[in-house]
Amino acid sequence: MGTIRQEIIDKLKEGYFTVKELSKILSLPEKEIIEHLKEISKGRVKIQVKNPVCKKCGFKFTNLKHFKKPSKCPSCKSTFISEPEFKI
Ligand SMILES: [Zn+2]
């Protein structure tokens, strides 16, 4: 597992990626990518987050929990929300 985590870290050093993109690049389920991101963030490595935005009303999400994309906009209830992006 250590190697995969290192691969994720190396990828994120290149720039911003979504969980979906990382899942494709590393051929891992999105769930596993999220688990790795959680573990990485517990260590000394600081992950920077580009927070998601509601594409309908422009609501900006903050304090993203557990690297997951929010399911619904609290302001307009739209589910049309941009993917959060991560980098190191
Ligand atoms: Zn909205």
- Give the chain's end-to-end CA distance (angstroms, integer): 19
Tokens of 61: 């999400």
- Cα(88) to centroid(ligand 1), Å: 28
Q: Say how many domains are in the chain.
A: 1
Which residue segment(s) compose the domain that 36 sits in? 2-87
The mean pLDDT of the chain is 94
- Cα(51) to centroid(ligand 1), Å: 14
CATH number of the domain residue 10 falls in: 1.10.10.10
- Cα(37) to centroid(ligand 1), Å: 26
- Cα(61) to centroid(ligand 1), Å: 10
pLDDT computed for residue 41 by the predictor: 92
- Cα(13) to centroid(ligand 1), Å: 31
pLDDT per residue rounded down to tens, the chain (88 residues): 569 999 999 999 999 999 999 999 999 999 999 999 999 999 888 999 999 999 999 999 998 878 989 999 999 999 999 999 999 9
DSSP per residue over 5-46, as a string? HHHHHHHHHHS-EEHHHHHHHHT--HHHHHHHHHHHHHTTPP
pLDDT computed for residue 8 by the predictor: 97
